[in-house]
Structure 1
């Protein structure tokens, strides 16, 4: 349900969303690959913030030297967790958008 909401809201807001890997429908965590116009890739996932409240947490490398490194990162994560969903969102201000959609704000 969360993945469908992300996709619908992204497309409704003029962005795009794509499921890169399907996880478990009920128990799978969601790894978000956020880009803006196909550039500046960064990963986030839901976790606990410093205050113990649910938050969107930066995940993975801060910089990628090559496009292949982006794919390699999420594929390594999937090898360790086959229930993991991987969603690419291409939308302006992706962190805010994802946090609002995942009701973290």
Structure 2
């Protein structure tokens, strides 16, 4: 019988973000916390960049298979910084416990998925 995912111990959002920041530095990338959310269970958004070029915004979501994955969210990077800023402001109004992490590393979306999912 598979373990009940609701009763299985899991890392807190603060721990996952800390791991992402430290691992990206160890791999020659850069990660910074733009918005600090709920320490225990805040939703984590990753603003993916590569050499300063905006690649998109990704959210860590729980799927029906009982695991986490990174899902694209927010405006298209071509819409510019103002569209991203407005999107993040709307998300923060509806979820003040939200984390926003800027991650600048090669293949940032894959890197984030491998690290925090």
Same fold (TM over 0.5): yes
TM-score class normalised by the smaller sequence: 0.7 to 0.9
RMSD over equivalenced CA pairs, Å: 1.7
> Does the aligned pair in 1 maintain the 2:74–2:84 contact within 8 Å?
no
Q: 1:74 to 1:41 in 2, by over 3 A?
A: farther
Larger radius of gyration between Structure 1 and Structure 2 = 2
Gaps of 5+ in 2: 1-14
Aligned-pair distance for 1:62?
Answer: 2.5
- State the 4+ residue runs in structure 1 displaced beyond 6 angstroms: none
Q: 1:34 aligns with which of 31, 48, 56?
A: 48
Aligned-pair distance for 1:53?
Answer: 4.3
Report whether the alignment pairs 1:4 with 2:15.
no
Counterpart CA distance in 1 for 2:86 and 2:24 is: 24
TM-score, structure 2 as length reference: 0.78
Counterpart CA distance in 1 for 2:29 and 2:89 is: 24
Higher alpha-carbon deviation: 35-44 or 5-14: 35-44
Counterpart CA distance in 2 for 1:87 and 1:66 is: 18
Q: 2:36 aligns with which of 22, 35, 54?
A: 22
Quote the residue 1:81 is aligned against.
Answer: 95
Higher alpha-carbon deviation: 3-12 or 62-71: 62-71
Gaps of 5+ in 1: none
